[in-house]
Structure 1
Amino acid sequence: MDAESKQKHVHEVFESIAPKYDMMNDIISFRRHKAWRRFTMRKMEVQPGQTSLDLCCGTCDWTIALARASGKGKTVGLDFSRNMLDVGQAKVNKLGLGGQISLIQGNAMDLPFEDNSFDYVTIGFGLRNIPDIVKTLKEMKRVVKPGGKIFCLEMSKPTWQPFKAIFYFYFEKLLPLLGKWFAKRQDQYRWLPESLKTFPDLQELAELFRTVGMRNVKAYPLSGGVGALHIGTKGNEGA
């Protein structure tokens, strides 16, 4: 699948699954995604007043966590799916955070922000869906402030047996059936295992962070390597 076809396909997938996205995340991850995000927030140590950009923000759970952690710090969520953003905006409004959180429909490979704009730039469960990973990481680095950090929370690839075999059986065979049963979207949930096949593993993604110029790169496997957290710091010399 070429870059344009992938982008179109992924957009269609997320537009269609938006209403049941949160429910399905809980089901297919056994709620581990919530524990992973809590771990990530502890690593971030967000301070009052700090600013964040959350890419591929989806239904905005991480965006909301960032806003709450920063007190009154400006928080921006960006996603290419209008339907996902509509679900997220409803959450933001319900919590009374509309004055602090701004949601924007946009492209993670071409961010509409000035250089050195945010203390943190995050992306959760979205990088593997973007056609050009390196371009996205470069954009994340560009808009984060000198000394600021980028965080990527994503699915990854277990390496030890027999857990690896069990994971791939579940991921490739059972997960689409869960999509069929609970969300009436079997074809869309086939995309999740497909998207992981060509995605970099833990160390490969860490190396891409270094390739774009991020410093002090750290990579943490989560739940036996099913997920991964990558952290990089932008040097004080700027972009």
Structure 2
Amino acid sequence: MAALPDKNSETSKKRQVEEMFNDISPKYDLLNHLLSANIDKLWRNRVVRMLEQRQPKTIIDIATGTADFALAASRIKNSIITGIDISEGMLEVGREKINKKGLNDRIKLVKADSENLPFEQDSFDAAIVGFGVRNFETLKKGLSEIFRVLKPGGEFYVLEFSRPSKTPVKQFYSFYFTRILPLVGGMISKNRNAYTYLPESVNEFPDGVNFLAILAETGFTGTQYFEQTFGIATIYKSCKP
């Protein structure tokens, strides 16, 4: 069975994910940075540094959430970023952050489905996804949509949690993700399902070379991956030929 926020619900994964993020959106940033000890910011900045080498003018941030990745990408000179997410609650938080930074002219947030993007083919110079592909109802469909809206030669970066393979990190990671994170996340957000779903969805995600194979099947070339912080997260890089 696929990882779901609520296994007892007959609602689709897509709808469950939308409702889950709407519910936790007020506390999402606090928990995200607290539970990751702010290291998630480091990972995003590494992606942006890689992307800066190409100086893309138009960037789409898929599953933008509260716009952390979009805001990080805004340091790329003259870039225009479009962030999309299925959760209006998360987007509302993101818009407030963008407004406070005075970046409304460079970052636009749109409520949209990652598996049915409301953009023309070959629209963007680059695409980024931070901790979002696990939440696609149909992974290959979401990746195919990203491939469609990227311009030929456009780069695609995915930042996603992964499973460390070496001891003792593997054991610590497993304990933290399955015991500590659901407990603390559930207490603060008042939604234990959300922070039980996170480790379950990470365990089910085809990380490493398995994800590279899926990217290649979708049509992406030049696929590479770079493990971060002992394999806790991974950056995936690919290109639309």
What range describes the TM-score normalised by the shorter chain of this pair? over 0.9
Do the aligned partners of 2:56 and 2:126 also contact (CA within 8 Å) in 1? no
Aligned length: 234
Per-residue deviation, 1:216: 0.8
1:210 aligns to 2:241 (yes or no): no
Secondary structure at 1:109 match in 2: coil
What is the distance in 2 between the residues matched to 1:159 and 1:216? 24
| Matched residue, 2:8 | none
Distance, in Å, in 2 between the alignment partners of 1:47 and 1:87 is 29
- TM-fit CA distance, 1:47: 5.6
Give the aligned CA root-mean-square deviation in angstroms.
1.6
1:157-168 → structure 2 map (5 Å cutoff): 157-168=163-174
Query: Could you tell me how far 1:10 is from its partner in structure 2?
Result: 1.2
Q: What does residue 203 of structure 2 align with?
A: 197
Matched, 1:175 2:181: yes
SS in 2 for 1:76: strand
Q: Residues 59-138 of structure 1: matches in 2 within 5 Å? A: 59-71=66-78, 73-138=79-144
Q: How far does residue 75 in structure 1 lie from its aligned partner after superposition?
A: 1.2
Aligned pair partner of 1:19 in 17, 20, 26: 26
C-alpha separation in 2, matches of 1:67 and 1:45: 10
TM-score of the aligned structures, taking structure 1 as reference length: 0.93
1:39 and 2:46 aligned: yes
Structure 1 residue 48: deviation in Å?
A: 5.5
1:178 aligns to what SS in structure 2? Answer: helix
Q: Could you say which residue in structure 2 is the equivalent of 1:228? A: 234
Name stretches of at least 5 consecutive residues in structure 1 with no aligned partner: none
Distance (Å, rounded) in 1 between the aligned partners of 2:77 and 2:138: 30
Q: Distance in 2 between matches of 1:91 and 1:234?
A: 31
Partner letter of residue 122 of structure 1?
I
Tell me what 2:62 maps to: 55
Task: Encode CA deviations 1:158-202: one digit per residue, 9 max, x unaligned.
Answer: 111222122111101110111133333323211111211211121
Residue 160 of structure 1 aligns to a residue whose secondary structure is coil
C-alpha separation in 2, matches of 1:211 and 1:77: 25
Query: Over residues 114-173 of structure 1, what are the superposed CA-to-partner deviations in whole Å (9 max), with x where a residue is unaligned?
Result: 111111111111100111111111111111111111110011111112221221111011
Q: Secondary structure at the match of 1:69?
A: coil
